[in-house]
Structure 1
Amino acid sequence: MPKKSFSPDIKIMAVRYLEEGLYTGQEICKMFHVSETTLYEWHAKYEFGGVTELIRPAKNKVYSKELKQSAVEDYLSGNYSMFDIQAKYGISSLSVFKKWLKLYTSHNELQDSGKGMSQSMTKGRKTTLDERIQIVQACLANRKNYQETASQYKVSYQQVYQWVRKFEQGGEEALHDRRGRTKPAEERTPEEEWRLKIQQMERENERLRAENLLLKKLEEIERRYR
């Protein structure tokens, strides 16, 4: 039986109800005819990637050996739940991740999935600052599809993921060779401080514009339910 599909509007509304405590998880599941597992998968995706993670179109995914191993090791560290891991690594379902976990804990080797995935696409490599900026911009433009961006630029999934996170936290300054840490405030020049504030404001404005558009759509849907 094919997996039931839900529109982005339904996903966003369900997560918003859960976030705001308007209804219990069970009430939301009954309202939208969704399982608790699916609801909390949506919530984890929202926490890691915001609204864009809920509206990303479904694709046939391929996963590198490196991605699978990183995901499993992150989970076994005890710092993340399975829902967190699924959202962080863009895994299509919990059942997919459970297969990787079973293989790994049974001391079997994890393999690249999908055809045509070369080793050059799964290994990290040295990059220039300009390359990192270009890669981050491409990943954001592609709704944070880390795997696809990594394959396109022949870098590792983890590199793309870390660069995007650093960029979101500190702008282009965070992508320098000092591993993404911005200068302490007392070391920044007035120009650097101003540039950083502008970058943060621009990112926040972009996020607010996107969320405002979705909120308007959600209000229309909520009116239909009243």
Structure 2
Amino acid sequence: MFKRARPLEEKIMIVKALENGTHTISELEFIYNVRDGTIYKWVYRYEKYGIEGLKESTTWRRYSKELKLNSVKDYLSGEYSFRYVIRKHEISSDSVLRQWIKKYNGHRELKDTGKRRSSSITIGRKTTWKERIEIVQDALANGKNY
């Protein structure tokens, strides 16, 4: 099964239906083909952040090394549930915490989330028509795939 982004209106309708008591979690799962964990996540985000919490995120969240380490240790201590750790540390999704745990258990360092590197493409200099002809002829003469 693939991940399908749901329209905001549909998420609101599902959360409201559960909130009003018009449908149970099981009914909503069946009607909308959504897992119960997803519905619970939407309800939590709606209660905590309102409608903004149900909107799709368009940016990467940054996490400090300390927060990552504390989150992993909280979970591995057995004192807190997976879901509680995510909510306590306001981690964006289950998969983020799972990645940190996998790195930690693999004895790899958890680092601060930094800015993503922008790909720098070297911009070539301007060439004349004659230079371009020479480049092509040189490539063909030397067996290079132009």
Q: Normalization by structure 2: what TM-score?
A: 0.58
Give the SS at the match of 1:22. Answer: coil
Tell me what 2:30 maps to: 30
Q: Higher helix share goes to which structure?
A: 1
Q: Matches of 2:113 and 2:74 in 1, distance apart?
A: 19
The 1:45/1:83 distance shift into structure 2, 3 A limit, reads farther
Tell me what 1:39 maps to: 39
Number of equivalent positions: 117
Q: Matches of 2:20 and 2:59 in 1, distance apart?
A: 30
Structure 1: which amino acid aligns with 2:98? K
The 1:42/1:9 distance shift into structure 2, 3 A limit, reads same
The 1:84/1:62 distance shift into structure 2, 3 A limit, reads same
Q: Which runs of 5+ in 1 are unaligned?
A: 118-226
Q: Matches of 1:70 and 1:19 in 2, distance apart?
A: 33
Tell me what 2:70 maps to: 70
Give the CA deviation at 1:4.
Answer: 1.0
Q: Matches of 2:3 and 2:59 in 1, distance apart?
A: 14
Give the CA deviation at 1:93.
Answer: 2.6
CA deviations 1:168-211 (Å, max 9, x no partner) are xxxxxxxxxxxxxxxxxxxxxxxxxxxxxxxxxxxxxxxxxxxx
Q: Normalization by structure 1: what TM-score?
A: 0.41
Greater shift, 84-93 or 6-15, is seen at: 84-93
Give the SS at the match of 1:63. Answer: coil
RMSD of aligned Cα (Å): 3.2
Q: Is the 8 A contact 1:63 1:112 kept in 2?
A: yes
Q: Matches of 1:32 and 1:88 in 2, distance apart?
A: 29
CA deviations 1:32-81 (Å, max 9, x no partner) are 22222222222232344343322364323343322322333444566654
Q: Which runs of 5+ in 2 are unaligned?
A: 118-146
CA deviations 1:134-171 (Å, max 9, x no partner) are xxxxxxxxxxxxxxxxxxxxxxxxxxxxxxxxxxxxxx
Percent sequence identity over aligned pairs = 41
Give the CA deviation at 1:28.
Answer: 0.8
